[in-house]
Structure 1
């Protein structure tokens, strides 16, 4: 038996019976599940754990589409599988256009649901790894001195040491020292790697 992917499946649906049946199905396949009977309950109870979401589009008070938008505004990146009734398909299509990974029309095949959920959890793991790498890159960049940041900004544009020295009013030897420190602090083994790291940062800050 394959090890289930890490992460939590968040079920957000106001139908108590459906929520319970989905939780049973997912947990019986070894997945970790937390369910909520409304969008507000999710917003109040979400602890930032990585995972994916099964989201009903039609709920009272805060709809699935509204919750999706709120998550985007708060920078919460959860792969979302939209659950749609027959009359909700246009709403589900809108959710897809707004970034949801998939939608399933009720009633759906259990095996298909499990397959899509596992894809969502794997994607969630990739998103978490990417966020961690970005945070590490930002932390390394923040450790640079003001002058090192200036040198890095020019190095990644392909400028030679002598050109950088002229721009900053310092000697080429000093540029070489700063450049070496930048490479070491950013843990870059080559110029292309430094350029790649720089691309993940807002170099204006």
Structure 2
């Protein structure tokens, strides 16, 4: 079900160009990239907060910022978009 929602979200954003997504990804701060990497590894907010020595609320703020910058409505959509961008950037 989550995959279907993420797929539908990607369709809604089909008008957003690949270049815009790459630009958004490249604009992420080093800390946002750290949070994102841990999210992609399946860490929960509390675990990310502990790992980065930040508050869980700060991690929630980072997640919201990541979704906003990448144009994602959900965390699942964020993961899908970032995975696609990384795949494209790796030349695959």
What is the TM-score when the length of structure 2 is the normalising length?
0.68
Higher fraction of strand: 1
Q: 1:198 aligns with which of 63, 79, 82?
A: 82
Q: Distance in 1 between matches of 2:76 and 2:19?
A: 20
1:121-176 Cα deviation digits (max 9, x unpaired)? xxxxxxxxx8x732221111122211111111212332110010111121111111
Q: Is 1:184 the equivalent of 2:71? A: no
Q: Secondary structure at the match of 2:54?
A: coil
- Matched-pair contact (CA < 8 Å) for 1:148–1:182: yes
What is the TM-score when the length of structure 1 is the normalising length?
0.33
Q: 1:160 aligns with which of 15, 24, 44?
A: 44
Q: Which runs of 5+ in 1 are unaligned?
A: 1-129
**Greater RCO, CA 8 A, separation 6+:** 2
Q: How many residues align?
A: 74
Q: Is 1:150 the equivalent of 2:34? A: yes
Runs of 4+ residues over 4 Å off in structure 1: none
Larger radius of gyration: 1
Q: Which runs of 5+ in 2 are unaligned?
A: 1-13
